[in-house]
Amino acid sequence: MGSQAAYHAYLSLQSRGVLALPPEVRKRLGLDVPGAQVEVVEREDGVIELRPQVPVPASQAWFWTDAWQTREREVQEEIAAGRVTTFADGDSFLDSLPLDSSSVAPSND
């Protein structure tokens, strides 16, 4: 059984190669917001795919790097395995830390 297209039409390219997607398609795919992006993929078989993408603000791009996402997956594995400790607040966390006498500043009494 083949997949059925949600939308099918012929669109005309404007002189500078601009392609306007119909409003109902833009709305359904979340492309009707400022900054929306579409990934363009030219396949070896000649098909051009347009894939809607969620834009990431430049200030948050670091989070989506491969290295950071690898670390995020590692953390999720630790959480799933139950290898985490939670605290009610910051003071509880600080109270749980071992005191090392070499790291305590000398008193000036």
Domain boundaries, the chain: 7-55, 58-98
Say whether pLDDT at 49 is over 90: yes
What gap in Å lies between CA 50 and CA 16, rounded to an integer? Answer: 18
Helix extents (H) in the chain: 23-28, 66-80, 90-96
CATH classification number, 7-55, choose in 2.10.260.10, 2.60.40.10, 3.30.1050.10, 1.10.10.10: 2.10.260.10
Determine contact, residues 64/56, Cβ cutoff 8 Å: yes
Q: What are phi and psi of 33, to 5 degrees?
A: -110, 150
Q: Which pLDDT band holds residue 74 (cuts at 50, 70, 90)?
A: very high
Mean pLDDT, the chain, as a whole number? 87
* Per-residue pLDDT at 36: 84
Q: Which pLDDT band holds residue 23 (cuts at 50, 70, 90)?
A: very high
Say whether pLDDT at 3 is over 90: no
* Per-residue pLDDT at 105: 62
Q: Highest-confidence range of 6-10, 62-66, 85-89, 101-105, by mean pLDDT?
A: 85-89
